[in-house]
């Protein structure tokens, strides 16, 4: 039976604080370690808990608990049953094998009307949440779950008898009726067929229907079937492996059934009509501001249909690939859409933008001026509106951003390769536009020069015409002046722009330099750090070597010292050994004497109460007196008394036998030992032992009295001092 | 007549006194004294264990035990007195 000291301590702690001691303590949003607790007074109150937690972790009680993990309480030895039952009630040493998962599950369902969930992220706050989370994790790993899935399509009668009750119980709360493997697909198909659209992730669902839709979206997003479907996007059914073909075909057919087969035609018609791709209007703010018009709804729907269509998948698959590299079976689909400007890396609008430039030899206008005034939208022609729309879409397009980034060399190679065609054509178009602009400017210049020459020729004509010419000249001068001013302004603007450019360039350069400088600085710092670290390491190594050497030296010195000491003390030791041996010899002789004569050797020989003179003593009497004298001198009796009360086994080896002999003769016994001894012996040793015990008690008493006297003196002195004070 | 009465009374008085003295006299325990003497001799090593009979050894053992108990009681009393005094000394 193990001691339950730690368990009891933990129980007490739980009673006090309401929780089991934690090893991992989180305070102020961070884990608090023991060193933190020791260094920070703020966490001092946690020291007891963490110590106890570690003690519990190492305790035999916990080992036992873990040993019996998964074992039924009846099969555990009786002495541990209470403890383990108690610990399991706190959630310790429990797993899915330990609890009756079916019973627990049904119980939970009856209380909450649903199966346990994984719960929200983070730590569960309430006890109920903790239980639910634990139950969910058990359920995920338990064998009952797998069995339920295995028997999903079987009738109760066909299920093996040992599992029938369990399955019946779980089916009664709605579990195990549908296969988990196909649930997601079935739900998805039924949703699409019903709503004729994909499920959407609704951020704040308000009804159960919305909650279901959101869950379905999540489930479908993560399920295996969706992954398989996505894997074969833009792949012809014939090319899909047989094991996945049926699934992909089923989903494609589903969408064909919902969206129809004429998406391509609809797209072509739309592009022809609106000269742009259909938009996803739901994403814009419009849907919040007002309801969509029928036209917008149709556009939206067409966009959604197009996005999930097989043709779009094919186009996306071969985007950026030349037509001659595309496999024959896909060529037809790709070719059809590329004709109308789809299936390229750049958007349809970009292509239209480029076409416009090439056709009109100018960039589409943002604002249209006529006779020097801005034309309102109502007064614009259809072509002008289209032109503006193309420009507007281009200005905010991704392709323009890419082109701009290409110009400032901020584009990765992969994107450059993908958009190389677009960039090339766009640059050519810009060149054409530039050339056209230059030509027009030149023409204008020529015209102006011709007019100037004409006016010079007119100077020699009669007076009548002179006045008119003077007026014309004034207007011409004015025009020239205005033009000059304009040119000046333009020049200034250009200059300012150039200056701004130069400043920007300088700033960029300065920034680069600063960056470079910072990098260099950082490099130097890193180098210094590395050097310092190396130095530190070298120093530490040196220090370590020195320490090792010193240690070795000290060790050698110590050894030498010890050796010397040993050598020095050798004679002393030998003398002591000799003395001990002599002592033992005397003791042996003494005990032999007692055993032989059944009495203690005498110190004096008395006849009629008077001491006998030494000369008159017999040799054996002399030997007896000598033995007593030696016995008293060697003080072996003190050694015997020193070891009184200690069991023979614990005595030093050399004293074991002799002290055992003496104890048998009544020497060195405690009062308790004597009492036992007296029960069996009523002869001389009793008196001997009693006499020795009495002597010992007397010594103790005299010591106590002496101490009492001393303390009393101290007390009286202190009293006197206090009186004086 | 008178004198005979007085004598008679005096005799009575004498008898009473003697009986009273007789009644309060403590007779020494001779056996105990003998054993004490024997113990003293044994302590002074004037006699050895062989010189004492087994019956006397038993009785002497009782005497020794009595002595040991009284010594221990005295020692304990001294100890407790020391403790008290030390406490007093500590808090003074």
Q: What is the pLDDT of residues A619-676, one digit of tens each?
A: 888 888 888 888 888 888 888 888 888 888 888 888 888 888 888 888 888 888 887 7
Q: Among A682, A686, A715, whose Cβ lies nearest the Cβ of B85?
A: A715
Q: What confidence category does residue A539 fall into, taking pLDDT thresholds of 50, 70 and 90?
A: very high
Which residue in A378, A380, A379, A389 sits closest to A356, CA to CA?
Answer: A389
pLDDT exceeds 50 at position A717? yes
Range A313-332 burial, b when 16+ CB lie within 10 A, else e: bbbeebeeeeeeebeeebee
Give B55-73 pLDDT, tens digit per residue.
888 888 889 989 999 999 9
Residue A56's CB is within 10 A of a number of other CB atoms, namely 20
Task: Say whether pLDDT at A123 is over 70.
Answer: no
Q: With a CB-CB cutoff of 8 Å, which residues 13-42 of chain B face chain A? A: 42
**pLDDT digits 0-9 by tens, A68-82:** 877 778 888 888 888
Mention every residue, 6+ apart, whose C-beta is less than 8 A from residue A55: A6, A9
Task: Read off φ and ψ for residue A268, nearest 5 degrees.
Answer: -60, -45
- The residue length of chain B stands at 92
Q: Residue A402, Cα to own-chain centre: how many angstroms?
A: 38
- Report pLDDT digits (tens) over A677-691: 777 655 667 888 888
Q: Is the pLDDT of residue A715 over 70?
A: yes
Distance, first Cα to last Cα, chain A: 63
Burial-class residue A565 by CB neighbours within 10 Å (0-12, 13-18, 19+): exposed
List pLDDT tens digits, range A127-153: 777 778 878 887 887 777 888 878 877
Mean pLDDT score across all residues of chain A: 84
Can you give the pLDDT at residue A286? 47
- With both helix axes pointing from N to C terminus, report the angle between A101-112 and A161-172 in degrees, rounded to the nearest 10: 10
CA–CA separation, A455 and A465 (whole Å): 12
Distance CA A101, CA A138 (A): 8
Retrieve residue B48's tokens: 């050895």
Residue A283 has pLDDT above 60, yes or no: no
**A606 in contact with B, Cβ within 8 Å:** yes
Lookup: tokens for B34: 């003998």
Percent of chain A with pLDDT over 90: 10
Model confidence at A337: pLDDT above 60? yes
Nearest CA to B66 among B42, B35, B87? Answer: B35
Question: What is this model's ipTM?
Answer: 0.78
Q: According to the model, what pLDDT value does residue B75 have?
A: 93
pLDDT at A282: 63
User: A112-121, A209-218, A304-313, A413-422: lowest mean pLDDT where?
Assistant: A112-121
The shortest C-alpha distance from B64 to chain A (Å) reads 6
With beta carbons less than 8 A apart as the criterion, state whether A665 and A681 touch.
no
| Count of residues in chain A | 725
Q: Determine the pLDDT at residue A706.
A: 93
Is the Cβ–Cβ distance between A688 and B63 less than 8 Å?
no
pLDDT at A344 over 60: yes
| pLDDT, position B5 | 67
Q: What is the reported pLDDT for A364?
A: 92
Quote the CA–CA distance of A149 and A163 in Å, as a whole number: 12
Of B50, B54, B82, the CB nearest to A598: B50
Of the partner residues B50, B58, B79, the one whose CB lies closest to the CB of residue A704:
B79
Shortest distance, CA A705 to any CA of chain B (angstroms):
6
Over range A156-171, report the average pLDDT: 82
Contact in structure between B92 and A722 (CB atoms under 8 Å): yes
Yes or no, beta carbons of A600 and B49 under 8 Å apart? yes
Task: Return the residue matching tokens 């004015």.
Answer: A478
């Amino acid at each position: 039976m193990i001691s339950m000291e730690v368990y009891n301590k933990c129980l007490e702690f739980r009673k006090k604080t309401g929780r089991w001691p934690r090893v991992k303590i989180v305070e102020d949003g961070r884990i608090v370690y023991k060193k933190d607790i020791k260094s920070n007074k703020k966490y001092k109150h946690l020291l007891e808990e963490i110590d106890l937690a570690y003690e519990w972790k190492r305790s035999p009680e916990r080992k036992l608990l873990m040993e019996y993990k998964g074992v039924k309480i009846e099969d555990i030895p009786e002495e541990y049953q209470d403890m383990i039952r108690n610990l399991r009630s706190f959630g310790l040493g429990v797993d899915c094998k330990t609890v009756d998962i079916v019973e627990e599950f049904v119980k939970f369902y009856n209380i909450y009307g649903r199966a346990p969930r994984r719960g929200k992220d983070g730590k569960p706050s309430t006890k109920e949440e903790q239980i639910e989370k634990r139950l969910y994790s058990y359920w995920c790993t338990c064998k009952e779950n797998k069995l339920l899935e295995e028997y999903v399509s079987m009738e109760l009668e066909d299920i093996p008898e040992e599992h029938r009750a369990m399955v019946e119980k779980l089916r009664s709360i709605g579990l195990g009726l549908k296969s988990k493997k196909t649930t997601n697909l079935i739900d998805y198909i039924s949703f699409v067929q019903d709503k004729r659209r994909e499920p959407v992730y609704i951020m704040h669902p308000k009804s159960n229907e919305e909650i279901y839709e959101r869950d379905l979206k999540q489930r479908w997003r993560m399920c295996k079937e969706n992954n398989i479907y996505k894997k074969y996007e833009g792949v012809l059914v014939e090319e899909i492996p047989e094991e996945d073909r049926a699934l992909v075909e089923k989903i494609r057919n589903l969408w064909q059934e919902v969206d129809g087969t004429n998406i391509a035609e609809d797209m072509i018609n739309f592009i022809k009509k609106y000269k742009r791709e259909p938009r996803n209007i739901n994403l814009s703010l419009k849907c919040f501001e007002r309801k969509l018009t029928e036209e917008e709804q149709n556009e939206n729907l067409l966009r959604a249909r197009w996005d999930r269509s097989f043709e779009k998948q094919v186009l996306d698959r071969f985007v950026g690939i030349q037509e001659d590299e595309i496999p024959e079976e896909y060529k037809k689909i790709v070719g059809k859409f590329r004709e109308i400007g789809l299936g390229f890396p750049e958007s349809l609008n970009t292509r239209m933008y480029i076409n416009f430039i090439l056709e009109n030899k100018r960039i589409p206008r943002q604002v249209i001026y006529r006779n020097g005034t801005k034309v309102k939208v109502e007064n614009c022609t259809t072509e002008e509106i289209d032109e503006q729309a193309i420009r507007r879409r281009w200005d905010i397009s991704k392709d323009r951003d890419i082109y701009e980034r290409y110009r400032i060399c901020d584009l990765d190679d992969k994107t450059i390769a993908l958009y190389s065609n677009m960039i090339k054509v766009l640059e050519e178009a810009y060149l054409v536009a530039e050339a056209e602009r230059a030509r027009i400017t030149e023409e204008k210049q020529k015209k102006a020069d011709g007019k100037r020459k004409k006016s010079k020729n007119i100077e020699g004509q009669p007076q009548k015409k002179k006045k008119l010419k003077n007026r014309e000249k004034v207007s011409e001068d004015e025009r020239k002046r205005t033009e000059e001013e304009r040119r000046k302004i333009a020049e200034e603007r250009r200059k300012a722009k150039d200056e701004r450019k130069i400043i920007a360039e300088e700033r960029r350069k300065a920034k680069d330099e600063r960056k470079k400088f910072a990098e260099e600085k950082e490099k130097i710092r890193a180098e210094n750090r590395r050097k310092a670290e190396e130095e530190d390491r070298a120093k530490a190594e040196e220090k370590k070597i020195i320490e090792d050497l010193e240690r070795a030296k000290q060790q050698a010195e110590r050894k030498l010292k010890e050796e010397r000491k040993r050598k020095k003390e050798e004679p002393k030791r030998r003398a002591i050994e000799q003395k001990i041996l002599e002592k033992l010899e005397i003791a042996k002789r003494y005990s032999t004497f007692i055993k032989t004569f059944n009495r203690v050797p005498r110190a004096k020989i008395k006849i009629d109460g008077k001491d006998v003179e030494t000369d008159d003593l017999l040799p054996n009497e002399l030997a007896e007196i000598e033995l007593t004298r030696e016995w008293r001198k060697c003080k072996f009796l003190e050694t015997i008394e020193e070891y009184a009360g200690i069991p023979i086994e614990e005595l030093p080896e050399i004293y074991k036998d002799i002290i055992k002999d003496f104890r048998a003769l009544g020497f060195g016994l405690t009062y308790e030992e004597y009492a036992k001894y007296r029960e069996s012996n009523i002869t001389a040793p009793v008196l001997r032992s009693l006499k020795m015990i009495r002597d010992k008690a007397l010594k103790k008493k005299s010591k106590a009295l002496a101490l009492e006297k001393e303390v009393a003196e101290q007390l009286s002195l202190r009293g006197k001092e206090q009186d004086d004070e | 007549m008178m004198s005979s009465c007085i004598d008679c009374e005096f005799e009575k008085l004498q008898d009473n006194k003697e009986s009273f003295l007789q009644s309060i006299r403590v007779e020494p325990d001779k056996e105990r004294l003998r054993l004490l003497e024997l113990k003293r001799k044994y302590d002074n090593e004037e006699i050895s264990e062989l010189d004492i009979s087994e019956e006397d050894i038993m009785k002497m053992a009782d005497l020794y035990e009595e002595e040991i108990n009284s010594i221990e009681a005295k020692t304990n009393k001294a100890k407790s007195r020391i403790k008290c005094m030390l406490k007093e000394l500590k808090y003074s």
